[in-house]
Structure 1
């Protein structure tokens, strides 16, 4: 019988997991992270030297009457320390900013890989605006964590300890005051921080939902106007925006509360040091054999605020940590169906396929039961298939018989409800669907999504194979002609040919083609099949089709209504 973890322990484990994930995002910028930490600690050490120089000048000039000329070297030291601290501060910000940029890029790359691994079927069920927030607002939410919170976290461990040691050297009573009052600050910061993290998570979630709501309404604006739903949807957007406002104000209230609490305790602690020194100078308190000198008192008073300053800065940036943890939780929530945040940069996509040995068939399907995404009925039961290297197979059947479902299952986007799909180890699978997604940009830009480093010559050659050049030559700028989002400006057949060319650039071992010759005239179809046969020689092609020409082109035909194979 397994033991159920305590809710508090489960929450702590989840928080540790998110912190490990956040740390892994900055793995590529560890040298800059160490440089930022070293710079902030060196600046804190120089602060002690600065306070010592000021205290010595006051004691020597004001109390002992030393001529200013004899203290020039100390003024020079003080000026050098101020310049050095200014340079170290700039270096800290620069290095921490580089770490934040690296982590934000790693986050977006990781989220992008996971979104791509889910495939179009999963993405169709999501709200594009909400997913867009994973790459935009959530990336910005972690910036303050690396640029602000991380350097201050190092500073709050090192600098107060150095100050306490330096103060203890001259007056142990002040050091004791520091040590007894310092724990109050992180204790109350922790209490406020829990509320800040929960509020930040709610605010990010509300922002993502509003973005998704707004983006979906923009995409369907024409339909909403057609049905007279404009005013009603405006009210819905206003309600969503009001939810974001409420959540944001709650985060700000907690942030102001945390700053107020910490400022109060820090001020009280500094006041205790000043009270002790004042009573000592008035002769009302005597904890030493002799009264501390004015220089000693100034040294302690100058360092008292600086002892608590890192804690105050940590409080100011603590909401950055809360926002980063909230962003991590939101990323996990939106991608939580099949994956969890892992403390490493590498991600692997589960395809629902099992690897097979090198000498086994390229792909084998055994007794698979397949159901389209979102459907309540299976379209195929007991479906079996075996593909070998270099084979060309046509998958035929009437509309609705399951051709596209088979291809999506073989591509790894649709796991079988029963049976197995066994793919030989190391085989790369490529899929070209009926509705390839084309972005706003040139045709060449859309093709280069498959291989950004492809040469112009190879791009032209693949475009020739897919018969893209047949219509691109007549366009104003050829492959550099700009098309609209989702292929606006192109016919269905032209969009499919661009999707096919994009697939060919990837050079997969197994090509899954869904109606690639649809909407083509007989001559263009014949040219496409001939070029495709030459280009894919030695590779396996499984093509769903209704075309008689494509069936004659294939080595074998699988009829989903009559699943026997005929050559």
Structure 2
């Protein structure tokens, strides 16, 4: 979609408030005419007609009313413009987040999170100047100078002609400058996204960078990215200053021409009329001449905001594209989500799984790691995926979750995936900066503390959380910094329990656990999975025995778990 069309589309939610802001701004500009007329009236009466001050009451009252109304209209215009911008920003960010979520986890893996955060933050903020500044100035340019030139023509044709002839030159030069401004703004926003992504990635991997002694090299990379951003930002500022300079030059020349014409007319050295213009006429024209160009000045000031907004929309267009293929796993099914209550296991819609000739290729791989796989799993049964590392266990779980498309074959869930609540605990769970309780509550924000505690007890989170000095309020770093691998996986498993899924997909849930903790976790999992279907990737014999049957990958053979070894 063209950037201008997309920009108009994004502005639709704030259109009503924006219309009110533009109307208030235009009416405030129109009131300049009676205000200037009142001032000219007072000057003529005081210095030429020498009328008593009592006769000035009407023009003074008119001037006061015009000033008061213009102040109120300016306040109203700014208020409605801010309201429109806030509405637009919220809606655009919602659209971006929905679009990102619709593309699913696999698409996200190929993106730089820092760049995505810049798009949803600074790129969206770049729209503010366009809607709150440029659009108001454009409305004024279309209607206010027209009213002023009509008023000036009614008192002096020469001044009106000067205004009319000089006005078209300004938009022409601004248009020429604007072509360069849009390209420069696009480069500046791209540099900003690169800088944000580069810095965020290095910040996350700071420990690894220091471990391998790459601090100076990475610092040089950050400095190079910052220098690129500085250079592109200065280019945008240079073009913005140039557009303002062009506007000021033509406006100053035009006002000077009008002042010279009136001065020579009063000196009797120049005359285009049968009679000399009155002082009131001269004051009226001189007061309105700068105001005639004022909307154009504001338009020039905000013209680079338009260029920045178009560049930002061009960068966002890929995310906002309507033809993006939504990921079915990104949308929770009915009955699966934050408001799901703890259900009776017997009432769960445990799905049956049927795979026929399934071939799956992991993300970034050239060849399928699973080929011609056939297996069936009845509703409410459990299956352990076993095999060497890299054999396709995690790949099959992602295919079952709907994250990976199949190369060949069919993989059917009955009921269908869209009707199910699927709980997936990945091998590397993502934990956010915050307390342990906050990370658990993400699965169901409205859950009661008793529900959270029950899920945490089942996942053996309480074993370590309650021993910490701050207990459940203990702060953990981004990606689970401060926790062991086993503790992070247990928090992820507790989040799955809290969602009460119909189908559980667990990737190495007992890894990094000691024998006692593993046994307690599997015992809780055994009780939780009654009435639910479970598929679990594991290397643990205990977990295989709890599942009751195993599927070896990549060869696809099924069988019973091996006998327990004596401890």
Query: Normalising by structure 2, what TM-score?
Result: 0.85
Contact 1:201 1:326 in 2 (8 A): yes
2:367 to 374, 377, 393: 377
Deviates more, 1:131-140 or 1:220-229: 220-229
Unmatched segments (≥5 aa) in structure 2: 334-348, 561-567
- Does the CA-based 8 Å contact 2:265-2:271 persist in structure 1? yes
- Preserved contact between residue 556 and residue 565 of structure 1 (Cα < 8 Å): yes
The question of whether the paired residues in 2 share the 8 Å contact of 1:118 and 1:413 is answered with no
Q: 1:354 to 1:219 in 2, by over 3 A?
A: closer
| Alignment-derived partner of residue 512 in structure 2 | 519
2-structure distance, mates of 1:177, 1:82? 27
1:480 aligns with 2:470: no
Map Cα deviations across residues 79-117 of structure 1 (whole Å, 9 max, x no partner). Answer: 233233223323333332333333333344433344444
Q: Which moved more, 1:419-428 or 1:264-273?
A: 419-428
1:245: which partner in 2? 230
Cα deviation, residue 251, structure 1: 1.1
Other-structure match for 2:486? 493
2:175 is paired with a residue whose SS is: helix
Aligned residues: 542
Q: Output the CA distance in 2 between the equivalents of 1:159 and 1:389.
A: 72
- Counterpart of 2:144 in structure 1 is 159
Cα pair 1:396 1:544 within 8 Å, conserved = yes
Q: Distance in 1 between matches of 2:86 and 2:260?
A: 46
Whole-angstrom CA distance in 1 between matches of 2:186 and 2:141: 26
Counterpart selection for 2:458 from 447, 459, 465: 465
Q: Is the 8 A contact 1:364 1:387 kept in 2?
A: yes
Select which of 327, 341, 347 maps to 1:350. 327
Contact 1:197–1:323 under 8 Å retained in 2: yes
CA distance in 1, matches of 2:220, 2:293: 48
Cα distance in 1, alignment partners of residues 272 and 410 from structure 2: 82
User: Deviation of residue 315 (structure 1)?
Assistant: 0.9
1:472-531 deviation line (CA, Å, top 9, x unaligned): 222223322211222122222221121122233344443322122333345544443454
Equivalent of 1:411, from 383, 397, 401?
Answer: 401
Distance of aligned partners of 1:228 and 1:478 in 2 relative to their CA distance in 1, 3 Å threshold = closer
Distance 1:113 1:366, change over 3 A: farther
Q: 1:243: Cα distance to partner?
A: 1.8
Asked if residue 104 in structure 1 is aligned to residue 89 in structure 2, the reply is yes
Q: How far did residue 172 of structure 1 move?
A: 4.5
Match of 1:454 in 2: 447
Would the aligned equivalents of 1:361 and 1:386 in 2 still touch at CA under 8 Å?
A: no
Whether the 8 Å contact between 2:456 and 2:462 is mirrored in structure 1 is: yes
Shift of the 100–354 alpha-carbon distance from structure 1 to 2, 3 Å rule, reads closer
Counterpart in the other structure of 2:69: 84
Shift in CA distance, 105/450, structure 1 to aligned 2, threshold 3 Å: farther
Among 315, 322, 325, the alignment partner of 2:310 is 325
Offset, 1:119: 4.5
2:53 counterpart of 1:68: yes
Q: CA deviation at 1:222?
A: 4.2
| 1:367 aligned residue (357, 360, 363) | 357
- 1:14 is aligned to 2
Q: Compared with structure 1, are the counterparts of its residues 96 and 112 closer, same or farther at alpha carbon in structure 2 (3 Å cutoff)?
A: same
Quickly say closer, same or farther: Cα 1:20–1:552, change in 2 above 3 A: farther
1:195 offset after TM fit, Å?
0.6
Q: How does 1:206-225 map to 2 (within 5 A)?
A: 206-225=191-210
C-alpha spacing 1:353/1:229, structure 2 compared with 1 (3 Å): closer
What is the match of residue 3 of structure 1? none
Q: CA offset at residue 30 of structure 1?
A: 3.9
Unpaired segments ≥5 residues, structure 1? 1-12
Q: Is the 8 A contact 2:350 2:503 kept in 1?
A: no
Specify the alignment match of 1:274 in structure 2.
Answer: 259
Task: Confirm or deny: 8 A CA contact 2:392 2:554 kept in the other structure.
Answer: no
**Residue aligning to 2:337:** none
User: In structure 2, which of residues 174, 197, 200 is the aligned counterpart of residue 189 of structure 1?
Assistant: 174
Deviation (angstroms), 1:436: 0.7
